[in-house]
Structure 1
Amino acid sequence: MREPVELRRQRILSVVQSRGAVKVSVLAAELDVSVVTIRRDVEELTRVGRLRRGHGVARPVVDAPEPTTVPAARTEEPAGDGAAVALVVPERHSYLYETLHGARTVLEESGMRIALHIAPQSAGAERPLVERALADGARGLLIAPRWRNARSEELDYGWLAEVGVPTVLMERRPRPGSALHALDSVCSDHWYGTHLAVDHLVSLGHRRIVLAARDDSPTARTIRTAFAEIAAARPEVEDWSIVLSSPAAVPGPGPQTPGAPAEAAPDPDGDATAVDLAALLRERGATAAVLHGDVDALMLVQRLAEGGVQVPRDCSVVAYDDVVAALGSTPLTAVAPPKAEIGRAAAELLLYRLAGTAGATGPVRRTELLPTLKIRGSAQSIPTPED
């Protein structure tokens, strides 16, 4: 489903307001649309007074401190003299770009030069970028692999465990007992974030709740698992179910190794196509939904309205990610993982490892930061009979 123009423009506003001046080419890469389209959007937002336009740059109406902007996809800064730290994140991933900015701030303040590598969506894209960074003399590595499915994650374990320089995973928690179990990592406690969403809805009187979530990232899979565990354990929850938030939000075929069986395609009768949320809510008698991630959440709210379900009158909604949740026509209550703080903590841990022998040989650190709940206007109490 094509992204509505207004939603795309809201995303542009969110990026510019959070970073300050942003190149039009960067916006185009992050939003996966043409530069011509972004330029047209910026011109219209400038015309109505919501942005200012410069030479190939979109600026907020109110000046902010000079930002550090994300280069366009697949752009790297040279590592030259070997004094750089390599930063590797997936392309077109607004959530992790906020994490990237947090890391970049710490590294730049320390005087550390950064070699930024943005991995395309193809399977196994991170490995050649890391190898290139190491060949250029990178001293350390901060990385958030895409890991769309368990198979792609497992195939990264071997080479990533043998990188040979201090490495910190950002927003990724390897499988227990794997080759990366003892690798430094900093991530959000998504179990706790899911708990915040369910607990908030239960406190408002909701007893039948649906999770519509992606299934193409480690975060998405953690949220799905946590929701099932939490909802099943809460005696107040009478009925719960999990569906995909978008038909495109599936893990997809993973990279294959010789002799490995191909991954099964999504079951056409399973949750891969169960995105008619309005019909599902009616079928289950559900009065509330948790939606992951933000863009899918805003689009699902629009779909609900088209199906005659109004938020929050007929269905209370809590979004997960809080990247653009506040920008909907109905601002969405949202779980907000500490995205920038994850990047800062990961960079600080890497600098500690690079500082000397004690840091390099100290115990492995697996740090979790707790999300928060941003209450807005998309969730309300169930009316009582006397109401």
Structure 2
Amino acid sequence: MRNLHGNTHGLKPNQLRRIEKLYQRRIPPREILTAEFARQLSELSHETNRQIGALIDRKGYVEYVIVGDARRIELPDFKRVRVAGDRFRGLRCVHTHLRGEDLTRDDLTDLALLRLDLMAAIDVDERTGLPGLVRAAHLLPLTAEHLDSNGAARSFGFLDANVPSQLDVDFLALMEALESEMARNRRNRRQSSKSDQAILVNVSTGHITDAEDSMAELRELAQSAGVVVLDEIIQRRTQIDSRTVLGKGKLDDLLIRAMQLSADVIIFDRELQAAQVRSISDATDLKVIDRSQLILDIFAQRAQSHEGKIQVELAQLKYMLPRLVVGQNSAFSRLAGGIGGRGPGETKLETDRRRVRDRIHRLEKELSSQAKRREQRRKERLRHQVPTISIVGDTNAGKSTLLNALT
């Protein structure tokens, strides 16, 4: 018999055995649940005064049984089990609600972040323990065109609440239709652009107008780097979260939006600390870069001279050294290649700290010798009275474009 998950402390042996028997049940694949299974869940939940849930695969087998408390259940952590961007996890969650409430924010967040097929809650009659209405929701496929001017969109589709015996939904057909649309949206985006697809994030403690101006500049930088901007999120906070920058609720919204839009990368409009990058990347399983890294990527794309390429590589390595984490499962292993990982230094990002330091030392020596040669050329220009002209301007103002036009 497989193990129970969650809050089993204090349950009687007889109750534990009956809950474990849920693993022996099988639901017809095209049904969300049966009336008999709903009744079994409800009676156990009523008797123990705890929410009880099951994760059921598409063949109808019960893969996990979870026991919660009176208010919620905590689902197993699937974050390291990767799921294709155009598919759900292949598991639906069916659990009980003891207070007759609608699907909660926690329910919907679990649905989105764990990429579940469906989240269903069965009302338990407080007097009889019999099942009442079943409320269910699923994720909706989303494209950037579906966002309104405020970046809002419907994230979830809700089925009509009904008693278990009258749930008239072909579950497999519903999943097939949703995944087909997700795959079509993803395919269309890939065909229209081979570039990285990003969500831009600004978290500020200042005025919203300043944040909007900074976001506009970040958008231009991202476009200069060849990034397709799918969405922009601005959050104003009294204090920046030291761990994840964003607040928990906004981070959950970001994860849901990134998953629905099939984003590849999240770009923050501020410099991130190494621990923040790790926390956000672990939560999202996406590449996370900040404003400084985006600018370095632009330099890497446009560096032409040998000295320029050395300078870009040196800047990248110095930036990454304190953030470097060895191992294929680290947050920074996702930075190899693409936006934030281009240029001469991209193959060095997965090396250990000692090799990076050695490389930095060699590049600095090479730059020093380049500087000496440049100084010699400068003296020759001064001796021959060659005029010097400087082009000065803000970031992304068009300095390089002007120089290229003049030369």
Question: What TM-score, normalized to structure 1?
Answer: 0.26
